[in-house]
């Protein structure tokens, strides 16, 4: 693969862009979470849907697994218990938010350690090879999907008290 003369600059801009998008995603979810009471954290619209608690447990478990030793070990760590992430449980908000932070800290630490030269390296997720760029994009998609779910669930529970996180309708 040929190296573009501005490849380092493009790579640096890309890394800053994804850090910014992940920070925005985290902030969006946290602003939604701030609008609901603790009972809303375990609410789901039906028995087959995940609650905010389950989504946070899953995101945190995924983040810690994927981003710990990101360049050197498979992103699906053997000690991860993915099935347990989907078991509903009532956790104090503080405990839940500590899990949330642990996941995001793993992600941001891994991103901070990357250089433009790393972007075309190969990493593995469940034994499948991915470029670092593809692995980042895969997680960006996954996390945005779940953050959208958190926002939707929080909005459903907040009802009329909901304050828009983006541009309100008709403005």
CATH number (domain holding residue 99)? 1.20.120.450
Give the pLDDT of the chain (171 residues) as one tens digit per residue.
Answer: 445 566 579 999 999 999 999 999 999 999 999 999 999 999 999 989 999 999 999 999 999 999 999 999 999 999 999 999 999 999 999 999 999 999 999 999 999 999 999 999 999 999 999 999 999 999 999 999 999 999 999 999 999 999 999 887 776
Q: Which domain holds residue 68?
A: 7-159
Which residue shows structure tokens 């619209």?
45
Q: Are 138 and 75 in contact (CB under 8 A)?
A: no
- CA 44 to chain CA centroid, Å, is 20
165 falls within a domain: no
- CA 150 to chain CA centroid, Å, is 11
125 falls within a domain: yes
167 falls within a domain: no
170 falls within a domain: no
Q: Are 51 and 93 in contact (CB under 8 A)?
A: no
User: Taking phi first (over 0 means left), then psi (-120 to 50 degrees means alpha), and beta for anything else, what does residue 4 get?
Assistant: beta
64 falls within a domain: yes
1 falls within a domain: no
Question: In the chain, how many domains are there?
Answer: 1
Which tokens go with 167? 């541009």
């Amino acid at each position: 693969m040929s190296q573009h003369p501005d490849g380092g600059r493009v790579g640096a801009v890309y890394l800053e862009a994804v850090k910014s998008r992940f920070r925005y995603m985290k902030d969006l979810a946290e602003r939604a979470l701030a609008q609901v009471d603790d009972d809303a954290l375990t609410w789901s619209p039906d028995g087959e849907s995940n609650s905010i608690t389950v989504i946070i447990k899953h995101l945190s478990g995924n983040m810690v697994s994927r981003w710990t030793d990101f360049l050197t070990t498979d992103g699906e760590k053997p000690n991860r218990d993915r099935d347990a992430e989907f078991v509903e449980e009532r956790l104090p908000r503080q405990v839940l938010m500590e899990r949330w932070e642990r996941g995001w800290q793993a992600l941001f630490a891994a991103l901070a350690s990357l250089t433009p030269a790393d972007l075309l390296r190969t990493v593995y997720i469940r034994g499948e090879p991915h470029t670092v760029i593809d692995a980042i994009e895969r997680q960006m998609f996954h996390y945005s999907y779940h953050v959208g779910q958190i926002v939707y669930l929080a909005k459903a529970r907040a009802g009329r008290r909901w304050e828009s996180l983006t541009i309100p309708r008709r403005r």
